[in-house]
């Protein structure tokens, strides 16, 4: 039976994108039944597009009943979480758990300190507003740090950091989590649900951008000449900044890196540890 034809599944993925490439193989290995949606219904998925301005439950009738519903796309502002949960439950009943994937970017209230799961966050952020609404509906939020794995390769992201040495100077701490560990976190949440809880998901490390830039400066087989030159330029800037700022060695002291994430809570609660413990 095709996944899209199932009437009931263990886990329904609303928005089968990058995360699902890691999640679906693990679901299959664990014999967790699942179905996925995309806006077009490609690759044996169900066509579904959330319309926050519609109260029509008809599109939800094409979805299977699920024990856990995972929302991978952003819900923003007031009422969107209530709308999607309410319309789905109007069709399939209330016996389902909801998980929203969010971003750790909302934890920006302690710029020179540590942020943990229960730390202050930007309550005015549109995504945080929708997440809080889902938490009030007894859902669970997984706030993800920098996602990598597959086609997402951090070593190729240097041009995003800026175009000058001053742009690099502003870069402090950064956090990552591999797609495989995101999938493991989702499955753990499915198996042992934590209603009304927001978690930070990262690989338990704090990375220093200066240190990463130096680590990424070596040429790889897949590099173009342009990419290699870009990495060398960024490494040169870091070397100059180390001299200007009196930095004797990398990584820099944690206290100088700005906001840092304490991601121990989720892994300790579920008795797991990340498999990908360091960005390669």
Spatial distance between the Cα atoms of 238 and 258, rounded to a whole number of angstroms:
17
Spatial distance between the Cα atoms of 237 and 165, rounded to a whole number of angstroms:
5
Which pLDDT tens digit goes with each residue over 105-157?
Answer: 999 877 789 999 999 999 999 999 999 999 999 999 999 999 999 999 999 99
Spatial distance between the Cα atoms of 9 and 68, rounded to a whole number of angstroms:
8
Q: Parse the chain into domains and list their residue ranges.
A: 3-152+176-205+259-270
Predicted confidence band of residue 4 (pLDDT cuts 50, 70, 90): very low
The pTM of this model reads: 0.95
Chain mean pLDDT for the chain? 94
Which pLDDT tens digit goes with each residue over 214-264?
Answer: 999 876 667 788 888 999 999 999 999 999 999 999 999 999 999 999 999
Task: Say if residue 19's pLDDT is above 70.
Answer: yes
Spatial distance between the Cα atoms of 66 and 7, rounded to a whole number of angstroms:
9
Q: What fold is seen in the domain 3-152+176-205+259-270?
A: Rossmann fold (3.40.50)
Query: Rounded to a whole number, what is the distance in angstroms from the first to the last CA of the chain?
Result: 39
Which pLDDT tens digit goes with each residue over 157-210?
Answer: 999 999 999 999 999 999 999 999 999 999 999 999 999 999 999 999 999 999
Place of tokens 């070596």: 218
Kindly state the average pLDDT of the residues 4-14: 87
pLDDT confidence of residue 173: 96
């Amino acid at each position: 039976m095709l996944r899209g034809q199932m009437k009931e599944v263990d886990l329904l993925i609303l928005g089968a994108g990058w995360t699902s490439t890691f999640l679906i193989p693990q679901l299959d290995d664990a014999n967790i039944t699942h179905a996925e949606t995309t806006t077009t219904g490609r690759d044996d998925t169900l066509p579904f597009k959330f319309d926050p301005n519609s109260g029509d439950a008809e599109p939800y009738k094409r979805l299977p009943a699920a024990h856990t519903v995972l929302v991978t796309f952003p819900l923003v502002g007031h009422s969107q979480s209530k709308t999607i949960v309410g319309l789905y439950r109007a069709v399939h009943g209330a016996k389902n758990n909801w998980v929203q994937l969010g971003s750790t970017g909302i934890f920006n209230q302690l710029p020179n300190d540590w942020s943990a799961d229960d730390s202050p966050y930007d309550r005015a952020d549109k995504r945080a507003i929708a997440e809080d609404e889902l938490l009030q509906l007894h859902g669970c939020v997984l706030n993800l740090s920098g996602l990598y794995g597959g086609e997402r390769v951090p070593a190729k992201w240097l041009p995003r950091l800026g175009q000058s040495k001053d742009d690099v100077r502003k870069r402090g701490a950064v956090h990552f989590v591999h797609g495989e560990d995101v999938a493991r976190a989702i499955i753990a949440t499915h198996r042992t649900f934590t209603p009304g809880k927001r978690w930070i998901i990262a690989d338990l490390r704090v990375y220093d951008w200066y240190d990463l830039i130096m680590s990424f400066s070596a040429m790889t087989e897949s590099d173009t000449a342009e990419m290699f030159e870009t990495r060398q330029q960024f490494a040169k800037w870091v070397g100059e900044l180390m001299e200007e700022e009196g930095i004797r060695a990398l990584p820099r002291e944690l206290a100088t890196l700005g906001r840092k994430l304490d991601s121990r809570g989720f892994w300790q609660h579920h008795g797991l540890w990340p498999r990908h413990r360091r960005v390669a």
